[in-house]
Amino acid sequence: MTILTLAVDPVAVEVHVSDSVLRVVLEDGRDLSVPIEWFPRLRGASQKARQNWRFIGRGEGIHWPDLDEDIAVEGLLAGRAASPERRMKKRV
């Protein structure tokens, strides 16, 4: 069995955060949507804090400075949510 590997890293070009979904559009046209429940810091944040993000590198990840949250595009593609320990912690 052969496995397809991509020669390019996935790069985000758009980010949208709602009360229920984190949506990331990739340079190659893919559109990823994951539940905001996966990321407690985003879930518990104000809309203003959610909208204050920047790309990491060329778009390999997304950083929210107000929330100290970093999410890698590769992690989203792999279906990785925040660790169970982090999901259970409540924000102070």
Mean pLDDT in residue range 26-51: 97
Distance (Å, whole) CA 92 – CA 69: 15
- CATH at residue 78: 3.30.2020.40
Would residue 58 count as lying in a domain? yes
Number of domains into which the chain is organized: 1
Single pTM value for the model: 0.82
Would residue 90 count as lying in a domain? no
Per-residue pLDDT reduced to its tens digit, 63-90: 999 999 999 999 999 999 987 655 455 4
Domain ranges, residue 69: 12-83
Would residue 63 count as lying in a domain? yes
Distance (Å, whole) CA 57 – CA 36: 23
